[in-house]
Amino acid sequence: MTTLSQTKEIFRRADAVCFDVDSTVIREEGIDELAKFCGVGDAVTEMTHKAMGGSVTFKTALTERLSIIRCSREQVNKLITDHPPQLTAGIKELVDTLHQRNVKVFLVSGGFRCIVEHVSTQLNIPLHHVYANRLKFYFNGEFAGFDETQPTSESNGKGKVISMLKEKHGFKNVVMIGDGATDLEACPPANAFIGFGGNVVRQQVKERSLWYVTSFRELLKELEKI
């Protein structure tokens, strides 16, 4: 059984760190922002709570929410322009510090690639280190669903991504950091999980996390011990 001190040691020795994006790296839930922008906010927020609490499968929740939103390509582009995602305090410094230490940083999100790529650019994370869901549009820009072949569209999808990264790159110590049930489920195969409650506290995740932080500065402090 891993202890808190072992979790901290794995983080200090990590060769790769995977971050969830919505409510972790950014302050909001991208799908909820998109729903609000398309005028169906309340219905979709309720479903997001269910998905994050783990009471329905992730793919079911994603399908149901998108069938309500039915956003066009134009609406998605306008959302990113008018309401760009807001980075959580301290994330830029943390990612910069990890990069300086030659730790590989990945964004592994159940959110949408078009939004997550915008975030990765702000954090100098290469686009090939982004794993997220792809929205599909018809040639006229109307909503056509999402790419169901992406591992991040499934329950346990984040774990599948981490297994693949370990196999591909030979990482020995991979840490997953996030606020939700899908992040917690990714450990194992992640070697350690750090629960993040800086934007929203999900009780189930807090109770089951060996190390639970509410600020990225706590993680920066840990790296300073090296």
Q: Which of 15, 20, 42, 96 is catalytic?
A: 20
Q: Which of 15, 22, 96, 147 is catalytic?
A: 22
| d(C-alpha 226, C-alpha 215), whole Å | 19
Active site residue 179: no
Strand spans (E) along the chain: 16-19, 104-112, 130-133, 135-137, 143-146, 174-178, 192-196, 211-213
**Alpha carbon of residue 204 to chain centroid:** 17
SS3 assignment, position 178:
strand
Rg (CA), the chain: 17
Active site residue 22: yes
The catalytic site residues sit at 20, 22
